[in-house]
């Protein structure tokens, strides 16, 4: 790539790898459970906040693990709002996300951001790493790989199968003796645990946590999922997971490329929204176009005037 130097590519890939964990979370809620879970914007920051606070206390690894638990808790709240209080899924997520804004500020000690400069993080912990250049990439790749393998095998277990069936056909899952309330709880807890893990890693990677860093995160995750599916396919489970990861990396590279070309960074969210809009509306647009073509051909053949 002549337009992008190696450092830019490397940092885009690093970001893509870390955000891929978040995208896998979004994949679980949006694709596996078929639930539009907007908790993500809040749970991402929650993970970052927990991780940053523990970093300042000199415990980066504990920060990562606690972030996972905090994310799972946030997802559980959304699931319970939906399943037990019968609030629509999308609204349940928005409510949790809103509540998390205040909670995140509390976690961060009522500061809007926490800088982590000169703090120990998991990216500068190991001294045996082959030079600092690739340390972040190797560590995040290792983590991502572990998450993907565990997720793959989890979705193949007995409980994983009913989780996937819940998104396909809730009625069937209940008819086969499994509580869909429970499967949704497990699914959303898992999804948001991954999202929070990603947030925790991002905070340590870029050495700060900010209360606004989660805005639009769900759309970025969804964009990665859609890009991955479009480019790499959905034929089987392993392929789908790999597609999500590659989708996340492609998304980051595309963004970096656009920035190189001179796009102002403030336009990032707009671009993300447009990408997801375009991808989601593609089937409808295709259908409309072919309908239009059919009508045109019919009109020409009949020499009549279309209505």
Partner 1 sequence: MLKINMISKTFDRGSVNEKKALHQVSLSLDEGEFVTVIGGNGAGKSTLLNCISGVHPVDEGSIILDGTDITFSPEYKRSRLIGRVFQNPLLGTAFDMTIAENLAIAWARGKPHGLSPGITRPDKALFREQLALLGLDLEERINQKVKLLSGGQRQALTLLMATMGRPKLLLLDEHTASLDPAIAKKVLHLTRKFVSEEKLTTIMITHNMKAALEYGSRTIMMHEGQIILDLSGEERAEMTVERLVKYFESRSGVQLENDRLLLS
Among 84, 156, 286, 295, binds partner 1 (CB under 8 A): 156
The whole-angstrom separation of Cα 89 and Cα 61 is 33
Binding status of residue 84 toward partner 1 by CB under 8 A: no
Q: What does DSSP assign to residue 267?
A: G
Binding status of residue 243 toward partner 1 by CB under 8 A: no
- Give the Cβ contact number of residue 91 at 10 Å: 13
- Residue 255 CB, nearest distance to partner 1 (Å)? 30
The whole-angstrom separation of Cα 102 and Cα 98 is 7
Which CB atom, from 161 or from 292, has the smaller least distance to partner 1? 161
Contact (CB, 8 A) for 168 and 76: no
φ/ψ of residue 59, rounded to 5: -125, 65
Binding status of residue 164 toward partner 1 by CB under 8 A: yes
Which CB atom, from 152 or from 208, has the smaller least distance to partner 1? 152
Location of structure tokens 């994949």:
27
Among 133, 168, 260, 287, binds partner 1 (CB under 8 A): 168
Among 177, 264, 283, 304, binds partner 1 (CB under 8 A): 177
Closest CA to 30 of 239, 256, 232, 195: 195
**Residue 89 β-bridge partners:** none
Burial (CB count <10 Å: 0-12, 13-18, 19+), residue 151: buried
Binding status of residue 86 toward partner 1 by CB under 8 A: no
Which CB atom, from 53 or from 190, has the smaller least distance to partner 1? 190
Which CB atom, from 234 or from 297, has the smaller least distance to partner 1? 234
Binding status of residue 169 toward partner 1 by CB under 8 A: yes
- Site size toward partner 1, by CB under 8 A: 23
- Residue 194 CB, nearest distance to partner 1 (Å)? 17
Binding status of residue 171 toward partner 1 by CB under 8 A: yes
State the DSSP string of 79-106: HHHHHTT---HHHHHHHHHHHHHHHHHH
Binding status of residue 291 toward partner 1 by CB under 8 A: no
**Sites of contact with partner 1 (CB under 8 A):** 154, 156-162, 164-165, 167-169, 171-180
């Amino acid at each position: 790539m002549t337009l992008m130097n190696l450092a830019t590519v490397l940092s885009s890939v690093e970001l893509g790898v870390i955000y891929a964990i978040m995208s896998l979370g979004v994949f679980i809620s949006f694709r596996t459970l078929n639930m539009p879970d907007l908790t993500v914007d809040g749970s991402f920051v929650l993970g970052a906040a927990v991780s940053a606070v523990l970093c300042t206390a000199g415990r980066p690894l504990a920060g990562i693990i606690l972030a996972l638990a905090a994310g799972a808790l946030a997802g559980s709240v959304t699931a319970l709002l939906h399943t037990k209080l019968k609030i629509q899924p999308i609204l349940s997520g928005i409510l949790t996300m809103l509540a998390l804004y205040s909670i995140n500020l509390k976690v961060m000690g009522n500061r809007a951001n926490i800088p982590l400069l000169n703090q120990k993080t998991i990216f500068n912990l190991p001294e045996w790493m082959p030079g600092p250049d690739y340390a972040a990439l190797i560590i995040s790749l290792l983590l991502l790989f572990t998450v993907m393998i565990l997720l793959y095998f989890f979705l193949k277990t007995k409980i994983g199968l009913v989780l996937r069936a819940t998104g396909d056909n809730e009625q069937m899952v209940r008819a086969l003796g499994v509580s869909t309330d429970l499967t949704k709880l497990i699914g959303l807890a898992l999804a948001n645990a991954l999202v929070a893990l990603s947030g925790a890693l991002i905070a340590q990677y870029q050495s700060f946590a900010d209360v606004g860093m989660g805005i639009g995160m769900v759309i970025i995750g969804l964009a990665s999922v859609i890009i991955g599916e479009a480019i790499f396919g959905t034929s089987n489970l392993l392929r789908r997971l790999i597609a999500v990861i590659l989708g996340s990396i492609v998304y980051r590279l595309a963004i970096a490329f656009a920035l190189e070309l001179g796009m102002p960074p403030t336009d990032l969210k707009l671009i993300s929204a447009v990408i997801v809009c375009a991808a989601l509306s593609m089937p409808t647009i295709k259908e409309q176009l072919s309908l239009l073509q059919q009508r045109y051909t019919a009109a020409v053949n009949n020499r009549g005037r279309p209505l």
